[in-house]
Amino acid sequence: MDFWLWVCTSVVIWYSFWYIMRPKPGKTLMLILGSGGHTTEILRLIESWDGPIIGVHASNDQLSRTRFLCQYTGTTFDVFRSRNVGQSYFTSIFTTIYSFLPAFWIVFRTNPDLIITNGPGTALPICYSAFANKILTLHDVKIVFVESICRTKTISLAGKLIYPITNEFYVQWEELREKYPKAKYLGLLA
């Protein structure tokens, strides 16, 4: 028992020291890209951003990667899709768990200052990995969730799961702001 406590303590100390000593570039934005209209909406939201951008997309969604790279010079990473359209919620538990390891590696390696997402399932492992990284390293990453414009009555499953850990949560319909006290409504954003 004492040995494992020592190992865990050593790992945390090493990780903290490494994190403090590594070079820190300017503010970095991470976008979670998604199939369908998610990529179009998220790229419209950040048209005026001029800092470094990291795009994260599902490994089977090369179209989002291509669209991102056509508009921005940035780095892209792919992660396993948490849930495919039509996949049962039960089996998506396992695919989501499977996607956490590469997601944590991406967040740890890139150390983004701001993550913006609008609801693709790929956001779940990335946002929770960022939240864990925030706790472990005290790096103040901001997680901003902008619910997709097509969500008029309820928020998406990804939105419901990420809602508790977001710094900012935006909806694009007034009715949704009334249902979710943390949500902010600024009108149609995308």
Q: Give the per-residue pLDDT at 25.
A: 56
Cα–Cα distance measured from residue 161 to residue 72, given in angstroms and rounded to the nearest whole number: 29
Name beta bridge partners: 30: 54, 115
Read off the pTM: 0.79
Q: Where do the structural domains in the chain lie, given as residue ranges?
A: 26-185
Q: Give the per-residue pLDDT at 21.
A: 44
Residues 6 or more apart from 93 whose CB is under 8 A from it?
none
pLDDT tens for each residue of the chain, 190 residues long: 677 777 777 666 666 655 654 545 568 899 988 877 777 788 887 777 777 889 898 888 888 888 887 888 888 898 887 776 777 878 878 888 888 889 999 998 899 999 999 878 889 999 999 999 988 887 889 999 988 877 778 888 888 999 999 999 988 888 888 888 888 887 766 5
User: What's the Cα-to-Cα distance from 163 to each of 21, 116, 146, 155, rounded to whole Å?
Assistant: 32, 13, 10, 10
DSSP summary character for residue 122: T
Residues 36-67: pLDDT tens digits?
777 778 888 777 777 788 989 888 888 888 88
Task: Report phi then psi at 41, rounded to 5.
Answer: -60, -45
What CATH class is the domain 26-185?
alpha beta
HEC per residue, 57-82 = EECCCHHHHHHHHHHCCCEEEEECCC
User: What's the Cα-to-Cα distance from 189 to each of 26, 39, 51, 171, rounded to whole Å?
Assistant: 26, 14, 21, 9
Contact indicator for 176, 151 with CB cutoff of 8 Å: yes
